[in-house]
Amino acid sequence: METGADRGGDGRRPILELRDVDTHYGPIQILKDVTIEIYPGEIVCLLGGNASGKTTTLKTILGYVEPSHGAVFLDGEEISGLPTQERVRRGISMVPENRRLFKRMTVRENLEMGAYLRDDREGIEEDMERVFELFPRVKDRLNQRAGTLSGGEQQMVAVGRALMARPKVLLMDEPSMGLAPVLVAQNFEIIEQIHEQGTTVFVVEQNANMALSIADRGYVLQTGQIVLADTASALLENPEMKKAYLGELE
Amino acid sequence: MSGKYVNDYRQDLRLFRTTPKKVLLVVGLLAAIALPYLIQIQWTPPFGFPWKAWAKAINLALIWSIGAAAFNLLLGYTGQISTAHAAFLILGALTGAVLGEASAGLGWSFWLVLPLGGVVGAVIGALVGLPALRVRGLYLFMATLAVHFAAILGFKMYQVAQVGFTGVRYFPPEVPSFLHWLPFVTPDANGQFLIQGDFRWYFVLVPITLGCLLFMVNVLRSAEGRAFVAIRDNDVAASLLGINVARTKLLAFAVSSAMVTISGVLLSFFVTARSDESWSIEIILDVAIMTVVGGFSTIVGGVFGAFFFFMTPVLFNWIRDLPLFDRFTFIDTYGSQIDLAIFGVAIVLVLVFKPEGLAGVWEDTKRYFRTWPFRY
Ligand SMILES: Nc1ncnc2c1ncn2[C@@H]1O[C@H](COP(=O)(O)OP(=O)(O)OP(=O)(O)O)[C@@H](O)[C@H]1O
Ligand SMILES: [Mg+2]
């Protein structure tokens, strides 16, 4: 098996890497030669407008679509071609667009489902406590059916559920979608906290300002191609970025 | 407010919950044992109440409880619709006909054929579930419908080739010899231990049905069972958590089909004769009625539904024959249609007033007594 790149120079290897990935839906090509590297302990964001291929990138990482060219690596091992559940087992978790909770299960059951692949009871209990620390509100609503939660609460449960798998890399698809500005800010604080606890985060966002304020690095996707890749601070200063995604702030 | 509230599906699954549950269990067991003896009593109840007719209805209800619960496991828990229900009853009948003590069978013991039916049902069930990996809802309904007609054709071909138009006859199974010492197991007039008649069948069916139901409850309580519910609620999210959606769907089909096939073996030997005309597409409607009236997404719901389905017609029949209705001849003429209409009304009433079905009414009753005398 091919091993992942080692381009950091300092001997570090990306924990997650897309290398030269093309993805098609039938005859239509969505991703074109996409290369993304995420190093352990980073927060990396993927920015881009509607239909630029952000969700498709995540689907390619998890195997809902297979790249027609190129490959995906986790921790140096190729994972493209593996079934989704195997990729999850190896340490990728995702908070999907629109949360996708199990509406008829309670909050607690949703969280427990997050640990579906695990059987270390104490570890699960520990992570459950960790989720309660991040989201005290969730603890108050443990026995409520998830479908009856507010949008913001659902987002918390969705994040909590993903964390219950104790992932190496957490993927998030537009976590601020549909949330009020206060909640968006809170949401990004939570992402920072999760990151501080040692989880690598790859977050897809349209809210470029917010995402870049917490990220180490960012990629910009335009009609399926990476058009910019830089550190977050550089992207915030980039004139093209300012024009296209950040609004004229000066 | 001392009642326990049901607010998660695991509580839904618990059969017996609090301390009175044990009392209830013992009373229930005693009643279950006494029931057939009561029915045997030579006694003519007032107004010609059809005391005896219950016996057969109860046995049929026991057999169909398994199938109704299995249908619920597939549709109510996993969200997969299958119209191949009758096909698996047929598969059970075929397994019995080919291997068991039947017209042209190999003569293997009923006690071997019964679990074998489960194995055959599980394998074929997983195959029938394959379309569920690609399609859902109405399309799955249609795909499994094809299986129904294929199964009828299969039985007809076997019947024509092996036994002729009269259909397959099934011979009464024997009580296994290691049980002969039991005090209530007595030989019949010919000194044989054949399982014949409603009284004897009842004692065979109760443990088998209970076993099948407990098996399903246990499956649903396992991690796989939680995966069933996850897939029903949101299959994309389920796959994101590492659930193998394809495998889980096939497993649900396999378990459900195995149970239905076992009930098909039981049914064949219980009614003793089957032909290609024994099965109609209405069977899936019957099972749906049992499931909805009994209670969707509960295993006990299937039991309540099956008992409702088989016992109410006996009651209707009796009411129809009461002198009171003698003047209304149309009631006799359209008897079975009237039964169907009453089922229809019952379904509407349940859907409107008690979507949890008879199982929900049962829960309410228990809660009422648990909190008695303090209402909330
Ligand atoms: N299953 C599919 N079949 C065909 N085309 C698809 C499919 N899924 C997505 N597409 C198309 O691929 C393109 C990229 O979609 P994608 O969901 O990746 O965009 P996105 O960047 O996530 O957009 P948004 O910000 O609106 O969520 C869109 O034009 C979309 O119509
Ligand atoms: Mg998207």
pLDDT (tens, 9 = 90+) of chain B, 376 residues, equals 344 444 455 554 455 555 666 787 788 888 888 887 777 776 676 677 777 778 889 999 999 999 999 999 999 999 999 999 999 999 999 999 999 999 888 999 999 999 999 999 999 999 999 988 888 888 888 889 999 999 999 999 999 998 888 889 999 998 887 877 777 777 877 778 888 888 889 989 999 999 999 999 999 999 899 999 999 999 999 999 999 999 999 999 999 999 999 999 999 999 999 998 899 988 999 999 899 899 888 899 999 999 999 988 888 878 877 777 777 777 777 777 887 888 888 888 888 888 888 888 888 887 777 666 555 4
> Comparing C-alpha atoms, which of A29, A39, A46 is closest to residue A7?
A39
Q: Are A94 and B240 within 8 A, CB to CB?
A: yes
Identify the helix (H) or strand (E) that includes residue B365: helix B357-371
Question: Can you give the pLDDT at residue B35?
Answer: 80
CA distance A128 to B155: 54
Question: Can you give the pLDDT at residue B273?
Answer: 93
CA distance A159 to A172: 8
User: Is B308 within 8 Å of B293 (Cβ atoms)?
Assistant: yes
A59 lines ligand 1 (CB under 6 A): no
Q: How far, in Å, are A48, A126, B32, B62, B205 from residue B210 at the CA level? A: 58, 38, 12, 9, 8
Question: Can you give the pLDDT at residue B40?
Answer: 73
- Asked if A88 is an interface residue toward chain B (Cβ–Cβ < 8 A), one would say yes
Question: Can you give the pLDDT at residue A6?
Answer: 45
Q: ipTM of the predicted structure?
A: 0.84
User: Is B45 within 8 Å of B312 (Cβ atoms)?
Assistant: no
User: Is A163 within 8 Å of A114 (Cβ atoms)?
Assistant: yes
Token pair recorded at residue A161: 């559920």
Q: Which of B240, B249, B356 to mutate to test the interface with A (most CBs of A within 10 A)?
A: B240
User: Is A117 within 8 Å of B224 (Cβ atoms)?
Assistant: no
Cite the residue boundaries of each domain of chain A with CATH code 3.40.50.300: 1-91+169-250
Q: With contacts defined as CB-CB under 8 Å, which chain A residues touch B9? A: 104-105, 109
Tell me which ligand sits closest to the C-alpha of residue A56. 1
Predicted TM-score (pTM) of this structure: 0.86
Q: Which CATH number fits domain A1-91+169-250: 3.40.50.2000, 3.40.1030.10, 3.30.70.270, 3.40.50.300?
A: 3.40.50.300
Token pair recorded at residue B224: 């796989």
Question: Can you give the pLDDT at residue B4?
Answer: 46
Q: Round to the nearest angstrom and report the end-to-end CA distance of chain A.
A: 49
DSSP codes of every residue in B232-290: HH-HHHHHHTT--HHHHHHHHHHHHHHHHHHHHHHHHHHH-EE-TTS--THHHHHHHHH
Q: Where are the alpha helices (DSSP H) in B2-137?
A: 9-13, 20-40, 53-72, 85-99, 110-128
Question: Can you give the pLDDT at residue A152?
Answer: 87
- Cα(A28) to centroid(ligand 1), Å: 11
- Cα(A7) to centroid(ligand 1), Å: 31
What is the SS3 assignment for B137? coil
- Asked if A161 is an interface residue toward chain B (Cβ–Cβ < 8 A), one would say yes
- Asked if B233 is an interface residue toward chain A (Cβ–Cβ < 8 A), one would say yes
Surrounding ion ligand 2 within 5 Å at CB are A 55
φ, ψ of residue B186 in degrees (nearest 5)? -125, 145
Nearest CA of chain A to the CA of B8: how many Å?
6
Nearest-CB residue to A88 (from B8, B233, B242): B242
- Asked if A108 is an interface residue toward chain B (Cβ–Cβ < 8 A), one would say yes
Question: Can you give the pLDDT at residue B347?
Answer: 83
Tell me which ligand sits closest to the C-alpha of residue A96. 2
* Contact residues for B271 (Cβ-Cβ < 8 A; gap 6+): B170
Q: Are B9 and A109 within 8 A, CB to CB?
A: yes
> Comparing C-alpha atoms, which of B70, B77, B87 is closest to residue B287?
B70
> Comparing C-alpha atoms, which of B265, B303, B301, B291 is closest to residue B347?
B291
Give the pLDDT of chain A (250 residues) as one tens digit per residue. 444 444 444 567 999 999 999 999 999 999 999 999 999 999 999 999 889 999 999 999 999 999 999 999 999 999 999 999 999 999 999 999 888 999 989 999 999 999 999 989 899 999 999 999 999 999 999 999 999 999 889 999 999 999 999 999 999 999 888 888 888 888 899 999 999 999 999 999 988 888 999 999 999 999 999 999 999 999 999 888 888 777 654 4
Q: Is residue B29 classed exposed, middle or buried when 0-12, 13-18 and 19+ CB atoms within 10 A define those classes? A: exposed
Token pair recorded at residue A28: 């239509």
